[in-house]
């Protein structure tokens, strides 16, 4: 685990050694603040609730997460440092986990900085903490899924722009799947699309209902995505 921590610290610091980390966090907070105060208008509502904000949060994450993940491996491939990294005494799993945890750390930091919104509602009304805690927990699980998908895209190209675009398509696809299912007649296709949608599983958690099936879904997406990233890096190591 020491090697994983070292890679994670290096990657996390790398975000804030350049403007990228600050820009991502700032845009994330601006988007949440805009939806919080103007679109959802929680302060003008009669009920203290963050449900409206949590309904929009998955889309915000789907758009911004690819910007966080695009540099993870693509930058190293473009600079030629991925070959050097893979010749060090570290396994592909250690590299993938270190980079994954660093990206999750950036998204988690940005998400944590929105907690003052919940604190504001607590001061203004009787806020039910169950859905709030469930919503934030669900956001972290969803962010974990988005980051794992973005990591795959960053592994297969040396262009950060291409990695971001592919990740954006994947994240939007998983976000919109259950919404497409709502427009289809009932059947295996509709049920399959619904079960693939991040929003479908997130909504249950956001209500404060922890269903094992929802947890297993997000964990499965993360584990499978990380395993695919490891396979890509293994192929890269064999070529070096």
Read off the pLDDT of residues 73-114 as tens digits, 9 standing for 90 and up: 888 888 877 777 777 788 889 899 999 999 999 999 988 888
Three-class SS of residue 8? helix
Question: Which residue carries 């299912």 as its tokens?
Answer: 181
What confidence score (pLDDT) does residue 228 get?
A: 94
pLDDT the model gives residue 14: 87
Using alpha carbons only, give the angle 44, 58, 56 rounded to the nearest 5 degrees.
20
Confidence of residue 33 (pLDDT cuts 50, 70, 90): confident
pTM equals: 0.89
Least confident residue range of 188-197, 216-225, 229-238: 188-197
* CA 125 – CA 144 distance, rounded (Å): 31
Distance CA 66, CA 76 (A): 16
- Give the percent of the chain with pLDDT over 70: 89
Whole-number pLDDT of residue 224 = 95
Q: How far apart are CA 35 and CA 131, in angstroms?
A: 18
Residue 153 has pLDDT above 80, yes or no: yes
């Amino acid at each position: 685990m020491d090697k994983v921590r070292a890679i994670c610290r290096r990657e996390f610091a790398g975000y804030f050694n350049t403007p990228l980390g600050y820009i991502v966090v700032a845009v994330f907070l601006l988007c949440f603040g805009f939806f919080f105060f103007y679109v959802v208008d929680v302060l003008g509502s009669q009920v203290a609730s963050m449900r409206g904000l949590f309904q929009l949060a998955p889309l915000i994450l789907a758009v911004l997460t690819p910007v966080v993940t695009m540099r993870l491996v693509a930058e190293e491939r473009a600079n030629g440092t991925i070959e050097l990294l893979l010749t060090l005494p570290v396994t592909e799993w250690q590299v993938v986990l270190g980079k994954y945890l660093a990206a999750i750390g950036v998204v988690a930091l940005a998400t944590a900085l929105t907690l003052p919104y919940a604190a504001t509602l607590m001061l203004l009304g009787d806020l039910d903490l169950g859905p709030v805690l469930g919503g934030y927990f669900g956001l972290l699980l969803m962010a974990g899924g988005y980051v794992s998908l973005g990591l795959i895209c960053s592994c297969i190209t040396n262009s950060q722009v291409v990695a971001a675009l592919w990740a954006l398509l994947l994240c939007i696809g998983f976000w919109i799947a259950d919404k497409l299912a709502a427009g289809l007649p009932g059947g295996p296709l509709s049920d399959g699309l619904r079960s693939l949608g991040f929003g479908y599983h997130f909504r249950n958690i956001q209500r404060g209902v922890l269903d094992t099936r929802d947890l297993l879904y997000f964990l499965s997406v993360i584990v499978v995505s990380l395993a695919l990233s490891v396979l890509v890096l293994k192929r890269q190591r064999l070529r070096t």
